[in-house]
A and B are shown apart, each in its own frame.
Chain A
Amino acid sequence: MRCQNLVCGLVLLLALGTSTVVQATKPEDTAATRAQGQVLFERTCLFCHGATGQGDGPAGWFLGRYASPRPRNFTAGSFKFRSTPSGDLPTDQDLFRTITKGIPGYMPSFASLSEAARWQIVAYVKSFYPGFRTETPVPLPLVGAPTPQLAESLDRGRALYTSFECHTCHGTEGRGDGPVTQAGELKDASGLQIQAADLTRPSSFKNGASLPDLVRTLLTGLDGTPMPSYAARLSDRETDAWDLAQYLRALSAESVP
């Protein structure tokens, strides 16, 4: 099927601009969809996440060995990478994003699977936890926008980094070497030792490193880890989350896109 450049360009713009077009390839969450998802899951995800979705696949132990993370246990209903408030389930879009982008260091990107295939897997992954049938996760709104005055924004971000005591875990320079981390006191929900992220290496961020990604991480927290949600404390001023995000980007030793 050929198309003229202009028409293709328009379709692409629409696809980027609205979510409805993306949803078009999303199949209905039926038994048939889940069954197709299961076939794909057992060929691809089982080795890490296990046949029963408990995160205990035959290759699952070796990734973190005695430390965090282990592959996610889908039957526990706790997820790290969400657009929803702490304690809530992720949206379908959240799960789809994780599968598509992968998790730096721990899970490869599965962008090579067709979009339909990835949605089928999402449906199957959700079937491991009954809560997905009864709850309707709602994303937190991303309010505000980054301030154009970068210097002021960075100053405010730096102040917030100190007053929110991010440095206790992440270190003054953001190297992931704060006193709490160095004391080896940080544990994940399953009791395994976990490291605070090295904020100077945004390419290792599991939840994305763009400004909106960082704001999302700060608002939602990473459930099941010591990284808390700052939604309550950041709600006073819309720009605070963006200032902090700007500052995090400035900590980076890498050039970020």
Chain B
Amino acid sequence: MLYRTSTLLVATSILVVIALSSLVMPNQAQAIPAFARKYDVQCTACHTAPPVLNTFGQRFLENGYQLPGTEDGGTTGKKKLGDVTLDDVGKYLAFRLVGNAVRSWSFTQQNPAGTDTGVAQNKTELTFPENFTLFAGGTVMKNVGFMVELGHDVEGGGAEVERGFVSFNNLGAQDLAHVRIGKFDPSAFYSVVTIRQQLNEVKESLSSGCNTAYTPCSFNRVGLAPSAFATKFYGLYDRGGTPLSPFASSLYNSGGEIGLDVHGRPFGKAWLYQVGVVNGANEPFGDSNKGKDLYAMLRYDYAQSDYFSATLSGFVYHGNSNAKVQTQEDVNWHRYGVSGRATYQMLDLYAAYAVDRINHVPSGVSGAFDATATGLTIGADAYVTNETLLSLRYDNLDAGGILEQRKSATFIGLQAKQYLRTNVAIFVRNDVNVRKSEGGEAAARNLRNAFFAGIDIIF
């Protein structure tokens, strides 16, 4: 307990010191992450607002961390591997420390069920830092790139390789085929990218007793994440029996799946294709995969002039025994999605819609299981001044799965982010439950309002 309090104290004082020193220090010293250091440019050469990429940044990513139209992996800003000095390390390593210093939940107390039903509660917790990510990435030679992201989630505990892959680029001809192998985010080239959001994903809180395999599990509080990317079904389990959160990003929109994928632009500059094969949703190592999941994405880009860009994309994700229901029977869980994004000067508008389907509901749950679910996410980010970024997101989840548990949810989130320096921002965010007045004793109704205040540091 004493230990806890002192960590909290240390964390808070670090936060205060950083915030204050950023205010006092002139804005000119720009400490910026690995790629920006490597190429000696500002973050905004590639990002509309980190971590969201602009068109130039997207092409840099597509090209395996090489400047668009080049194969500079062997040259620019780099020494031969083997004589990398301490100075160079900064060109490969970066970290991001992001977290809500304060999270404040307002909800109708529900759990344990039956006690104090209907009583409004407020709960405030100090949580900084929630998430720490260490990146190592770049190119090892011409047309060979790599990325490793080690994440430490303070709430969940433990560190984990969120993504770690190698890429082989410009195979055959320039932009014909780029291959990624390892644990990567399939949606990296989609119009709206799961791991590049201004409003960070907030995990749900489960009620206790959720750790026995294949037991139904209820929520204290819903998670806040883009509904189009979410699992959407209540009552699905991974192959090891752990319940899948209906709110967590999954399948094509997962933050990390193990497999191989190929993308390129052989049909002219405007069209991007992507095909891939992955182990499948939440497939743990060592489990006998019954099959592999397959996906294909096609994207159209308009990027010419007038500070304007637009993209449209659609994908099909075909699951193969990639989840189970409570009766431990396999299901094939598929997703079909479309998304679009347009940027004009300070404004970045995006939308994504997805339909999830489970083919052939197992007899054990048939009649009690809705096999279709949809999610809609619409959002906008806008720089209202050079240092202030406003973000708005609307999410609607028409949940599927076990009829008894499933509950649809609609949330609106608004965030204001103030950049103290190019790499340090503080933010406040508020999410409101649009359907809080609708009845139903469920987490999707009980959470009325969530407030966050936090800090985002990228180094």
Contacts and interface: CB of A to CB of B under 8 A. Distances in A.
Nearest to A113: B70
Given A47-B59, A50-B305, A105-B41, A112 B386 contact: no
A135 B243 CA distance: 72
B68 to A, nearest CB: 5
Given A58-B54, A66-B386, A106 B45 contact: yes
B44 A63 contact: yes
Nearest to A107: B41
B6 interface: no
B266 interface: no
B261 interface: no
B266 to A, nearest CB: 14
Interface stretch (A37-45, A80-88, A161-169, A214-222): A37-45
Interface in A56-104: 56-63, 65-67, 102, 104
A244 interface: no
A contacts with B: majority SS: loop
Contact of A62 (B39, B47, B305): B47
B57 interface: yes
B307 A63 contact: no
A122 to B, nearest CB: 15
Q: Which of B59, B67, B386 is the most central at the interface, judged by chain A CB atoms within 10 Å of its CB? A: B67
A48 interface: yes
Nearest to A177: B26
B26 to A, nearest CB: 8
A130 B55 CA distance: 29
Contacts of B77: 109
A252 interface: no
A176 B28 CA distance: 9
B69 interface: yes
A106 B41 contact: yes
A65 B39 contact: no
Nearest to B49: A62
Nearest to B52: A62
B68 A44 contact: yes
A113 B74 CA distance: 11
A196 B7 CA distance: 43
Contacts of A108: 39-41, 45, 67, 76
A94 to B, nearest CB: 20
A234 interface: no
B44 A65 contact: yes
A56 B306 contact: yes
B54 A59 contact: yes
A223 interface: no
Contacts of A56: 305-307
Contact of B76 (A50, A54, A61, A109): A109
B386 A59 contact: no
B42 interface: yes
B67 A44 contact: yes
Contacts of B305: 50-52, 54, 56-58
Interface size class of A (residues with CB under 8 A): 35 or more
A111 interface: yes
A109 B72 CA distance: 10
A164 to B, nearest CB: 23
Given A47-B59, A48-B56, A65 B346 contact: yes
A32 B46 CA distance: 31
B86 to A, nearest CB: 16
B48 interface: yes
B279 interface: no
Q: Which of B41, B46, B48, B305 is the most central at the interface, judged by chain A CB atoms within 10 Å of its CB? A: B305
B129 to A, nearest CB: 27
Contacts of B69: 40, 43-44, 113
Nearest to B75: A112
Nearest to B71: A112
Nearest to B174: A43
A129 B162 CA distance: 49
B183 to A, nearest CB: 28
B118 to A, nearest CB: 48
A58 B309 contact: yes
A59 B385 contact: no
Contacts of B74: 112
A132 interface: no
A106 B43 CA distance: 9
A95 to B, nearest CB: 17
B91 to A, nearest CB: 13
B383 interface: yes
Contacts of A195: 28
3 shortest A-B CB distances, which residue pairs? A112-B72, A43-B69, A58-B309
Interface of B: 26, 28, 30, 39-42, 44-49, 54-57, 59, 66-72, 74-77, 269, 303-309, 343, 345-346, 383, 385-386
30 contacts: A40-B69, A43-B69, A44-B68, A46-B303, A47-B59, A47-B303, A52-B305, A56-B305, A57-B303, A57-B307, A58-B303, A58-B304, A58-B307, A58-B308, A59-B57, A61-B307, A62-B54, A63-B44, A65-B386, A66-B346, A66-B386, A104-B40, A105-B30, A107-B41, A108-B41, A108-B76, A109-B76, A111-B75, A112-B74, A177-B26
Interface of A: 40, 42-44, 46-48, 50-52, 54, 56-63, 65-67, 102, 104-113, 175-177, 195, 198, 201, 203
